[in-house]
Amino acid sequence: MELIVQGIVKAFELLLSFDPEVLGITWLSLKISGTATFISLFFGVSIGTAVALTTFPGKRLVISLINTGMGLPPVVVGLFVTIMIWRSGPLGFLEILYTPYAMIIAQAIIATPIVMGISLASIQNLPPNLRLQILALGASRMQMVWVLIKESKLPLLAAVMAGFGGVISEVGASIMVGGNIKGYSRVLTTATVMETGKGNFDIAIALGIILLILAFLVNLLLTHVQQRQRLR
Amino acid sequence: MKMFKNSKTVAVLIAAFLLFALGASDVLAANAEPKQKNIILATTTSTQDSGLLDVLIPIFEKETGYFVKTIAVGSGQAMAMGQKGEADVLLVHSPDAEKKFMEAGNGVNRRLVMHNDFIIVGPSADPAKIKGLKSSAEALKTIAKAGALFSSRGDNSGTHAKEKALWKQTGITPAGQKWYQETGLGMGQTLNVASEKKGYTLADRGTYLALKKNLGLDVLVEGDAALLNIYHVIEINGTKWPKVNAAGGRAFADFMVSKKTQGIIKTFGVDKFGSPLFFPDAGKKVEDLGK
């Protein structure tokens, strides 16, 4: 119990003293996971919408695969990405193992099925006649898709939150492909693992609290956007 | 038709996007340095967890302009990385495995850097009564006979390799025994497990000292010559893997055995723990250590 109190005190000490290392780690976490979420948003929403709006043989199988992907174990993604990009791997010429790039790639792979699955479900959940109605009003196909995406804004923002929440709190892939290099690829989760290993439990708890505050602030912003649309 | 009904929403979204775009460009800039400037150092968790590398690497980077990517894993995994040419230089403490590694032609120029020692720690109640035993093998035998809980790293690290070698001396096969638990975790976490479960374990002194304040474990056996923990630096063979940064690896290895670095190692940890964590040994022979 005493340790938890110490951790909370330490968290505010680190935050209020603007400790440059902790600020750097926090900022890097936000950058990497934010970029990864944006990438996943692009692929997730577009593919999710496409699958939802088309019919083709084996559609149920594809949907099952996407839904399974929502639970993709980060450490397996980390292993797969590592093998692809290390020097002897097929993408070794890129030389991006142990860089923030590699972390963005791995996190985007983790977040994409989450965003895709939620987008798919939310578009499918719209009343089926809506499509016909929009087309009947003379909208082009692209305009129709855009209106549908707008109609499911609420669940889509939930998809962003789920995707971001999934990657900012993820550690297995980040430590494997990023390497937890000081001042370069060390993020809040990997630093927490390391400080726990070092026995600095107070700092580890402090980093955990900073991670929660960060996730809270991002979600607060997104919820604000989401709910404002709702109230109109 | 209007894309967004609310201009504030647009502003928020654009601001958020710019924030990340800005962030991404920072990441780009950080990676724009010439690639041969990067050195991948695969090492054991003990050198990182003790804080030694946090002191040494900034000095090396400042002196040479190289950028060191320290990947802290167990010695076994570090050598596996070296074996595939995925690292440029190793700093490891698993002498028997290192010899095999060299014989296979994976490394060039293996040099002695420093040593400290392993200790057998356990609960202060010491249920197996091993405190004060001079021989570490004898102590393990006693633990086995008493059936007292022993936590093993079980992760092919240098510490795990040492532990297996000691068990071999005793002629006992601990794997599969009820009192023998493999954690598969790093040294720090294994010490925590041993402390929580009131078990014994083999630890390097540096990590034990760093964690001591949170542990309910005492040093029970120490000072046995078999408990030496010896660190070597190995450059990875650049002719076998052309992608390896051989020049960078050599520069780092030279730095580790240089007079100045050895001086820093000698005094590292004295202010925090009252005694040094490592003893510099560059240029010495392994046979002369601990005398």
Instruction: Say whether A25 sits in a helix, a strand or coil.
Output: helix
- Distance, in Å, from the CA atom of B60 to the CA atom of B251, rounded to the nearest integer, reads 9
Residue A103's CATH number: 1.10.3720.10
A30 CB near a chain B CB, below 8 Å? Answer: yes
* Predicted pLDDT of residue A219: 92
pLDDT value at A12 more than 50: yes
pLDDT value at A79 more than 60: yes
B30 CB near a chain A CB, below 8 Å? Answer: yes
DSSP state of B241: -
- Distance, in Å, from the CA atom of A83 to the CA atom of A69, rounded to the nearest integer, reads 19
* Predicted pLDDT of residue B29: 46
pLDDT value at B4 more than 50: no
Distance of residue A117 Cα from the nearest chain B Cα, in angstroms: 23
Residue with tokens 């936000």: A30
* Predicted pLDDT of residue B5: 47
Q: Tell me which chain B residue has its CA closest to the CA of residue A218.
A: B16
Does the interface ipTM go beyond 0.90? no
User: What kind and span of H or E run contains A81?
Assistant: helix A74-85
Q: Helices marked H in chain B — which ranges? A: 7-30, 45-49, 52-64, 75-83, 95-103, 136-146, 158-170, 187-197, 205-211, 246-257, 259-267, 270-273
pLDDT band at A197 (very low <50, low <70, confident <90, very high): confident
Distance of residue A57 Cα from the nearest chain B Cα, in angstroms: 34
* Count of domains for chain A: 1
Entry pTM: 0.84
- Distance, in Å, from the CA atom of B263 to the CA atom of B25, rounded to the nearest integer, reads 40
- Distance, in Å, from the CA atom of A164 to the CA atom of A175, rounded to the nearest integer, reads 18
Share of chain B above pLDDT 70, in %: 87
Binary contact (A179, B70; C-beta < 8 A): yes
- Distance, in Å, from the CA atom of B77 to the CA atom of A10, rounded to the nearest integer, reads 34
CB-nearest to A35 from B24, B69, B84 is B24
Nearest residue to B232 (alpha-carbon basis) of B209, B255, B256: B256
Which of 94-133 (B) contact A at CB < 8 A?
none
Distance of residue B226 Cα from the nearest chain A Cα, in angstroms: 26
Q: Tell me which chain B residue has its CA closest to the CA of residue A82.
A: B86
Binary contact (B54, A182; C-beta < 8 A): yes
Per residue in B77-105, pLDDT (tens digit) is: 999 999 999 999 999 999 999 999 999 99
Q: Tell me which chain A residue has its CA closest to the CA of residue B54.
A: A182
The tally of CA atoms less than 13 A away on the side-chain side of residue A194 is: 25
Q: Compute the C-alpha angle B37/B43/B44, nearest 5°.
A: 160
pLDDT value at B172 more than 60: yes
Lowest mean pLDDT across A36-50, A54-68, B28-42, B95-109: B28-42
* Predicted pLDDT of residue B170: 93
Lowest mean pLDDT across A25-39, A61-75, B202-216: B202-216
Q: What burial class does residue A62 get, using C-beta atoms within 10 Å of its C-beta: 0-12 exposed, 13-18 middle, 19+ buried?
A: middle
Tell me the mean pLDDT in the region A33-59.
95
Chain A residues touching residue B69 (CB < 8 angstroms): 98, 179, 181, 184
Nearest residue to A62 (alpha-carbon basis) of A113, A129, A136, A2: A113
Q: Tell me which chain B residue has its CA closest to the CA of residue A29.
A: B23
Q: Tell me which chain A residue has its CA closest to the CA of residue B42.
A: A179
Tell me the mean pLDDT in the region B259-267.
95
How many contacts, defined by CB atoms under 8 Å, are there between A and B? 96
Chain B residues touching residue A181 (CB < 8 angstroms): 69-71
Which of 36-55 (B) contact A at CB < 8 A?
38, 40, 45, 48-49, 54
Residue with tokens 């390097």: B204
Distance of residue A152 Cα from the nearest chain B Cα, in angstroms: 14
Binary contact (A197, B40; C-beta < 8 A): no
CB-nearest to B85 from A87, A184, A229 is A87
Binary contact (A229, B30; C-beta < 8 A): no
Q: CB count, 10 Å around CB of B168?
A: 11
Q: What proportions of chain A, in percent to the nearest 5, are helix, strand and coil?
A: 80, 0, 20
Lowest mean pLDDT across A17-26, A100-109, B23-32, B40-49: B23-32
What domains does chain B contain, in order, with CATH numbers? Answer: 35-116+229-288 (3.40.190.10), 118-227 (3.40.190.10)
Nearest residue to B50 (alpha-carbon basis) of B238, B276, B242: B276
pLDDT value at B24 more than 60: no
Tokens of A93: 């010429």
Chain B residues touching residue A221 (CB < 8 angstroms): 12, 16
User: What kind and span of H or E run contains A160?
Assistant: helix A153-168
Q: Tell me which chain B residue has its CA closest to the CA of residue A86.
A: B86
pLDDT band at A128 (very low <50, low <70, confident <90, very high): confident
pLDDT band at B119 (very low <50, low <70, confident <90, very high): very high
* Predicted pLDDT of residue A230: 59
* Predicted pLDDT of residue B136: 94
A25 CB near a chain B CB, below 8 Å? Answer: no
Average pLDDT, whole number, for chain B? 87
Domain that holds residue A100: 2-231
Judge contact between A130 and A151, C-beta under 8 A: yes
A228 CB near a chain B CB, below 8 Å? Answer: yes
Q: Tell me which chain B residue has its CA closest to the CA of residue A226.
A: B9
* Predicted pLDDT of residue B34: 43
pLDDT value at A40 more than 80: yes
CB-nearest to B27 from A31, A196, A199 is A31
Lowest mean pLDDT across A97-101, A120-124, A144-148, B48-52: B48-52
Judge contact between A37 and A160, C-beta under 8 A: yes
- Distance, in Å, from the CA atom of B60 to the CA atom of A22, rounded to the nearest integer, reads 23
- State the pairing for strand pair B228-236/B107-123: antiparallel
Distance of residue A122 Cα from the nearest chain B Cα, in angstroms: 20
Binary contact (A199, B211; C-beta < 8 A): yes
CB-nearest to A225 from B9, B31, B210 is B9
pLDDT band at A232 (very low <50, low <70, confident <90, very high): low
Binary contact (B5, A104; C-beta < 8 A): no
Nearest residue to A225 (alpha-carbon basis) of B5, B19, B16, B12: B12
Which residues, in sequence order, are CB contacts of B95 under 8 Å at separation 6+?
B230, B232, B286
B2 CB near a chain A CB, below 8 Å? Answer: no
Q: What burial class does residue B65 get, using C-beta atoms within 10 Å of its C-beta: 0-12 exposed, 13-18 middle, 19+ buried?
A: exposed
pLDDT band at B213 (very low <50, low <70, confident <90, very high): confident
Report helix angle A20-53 to A59-69, nearest 10: 170
Tokens of B124: 């202060």
Tell me the mean pLDDT in the region A70-79.
94
* Predicted pLDDT of residue B3: 44
pLDDT band at A208 (very low <50, low <70, confident <90, very high): very high
* Predicted pLDDT of residue B6: 53
Binary contact (A182, B188; C-beta < 8 A): no
Average pLDDT, whole number, for chain A? 91
Per residue in A155-196, pLDDT (tens digit) is: 999 999 999 999 999 999 999 999 999 999 999 999 999 888
- Distance, in Å, from the CA atom of A168 to the CA atom of A203, rounded to the nearest integer, reads 18
Tell me the mean pLDDT in the region B14-36.
51
Chain B residues touching residue A232 (CB < 8 angstroms): 5
Distance of residue B288 Cα from the nearest chain A Cα, in angstroms: 31
* Predicted pLDDT of residue B185: 86
Per residue in B134-166, pLDDT (tens digit) is: 999 999 999 999 999 999 999 888 999 999 999
Q: Tell me which chain B residue has its CA closest to the CA of residue A35.
A: B20
Binary contact (B84, A35; C-beta < 8 A): no
Tell me the mean pLDDT in the region B215-227.
92
Lowest mean pLDDT across A103-117, B35-49, B164-178, B240-254: B35-49
**Which residues on neighbouring strands pair with residue B114, listed in sequence order?**
B231, B280
Nearest residue to A194 (alpha-carbon basis) of B47, B231, B160: B47
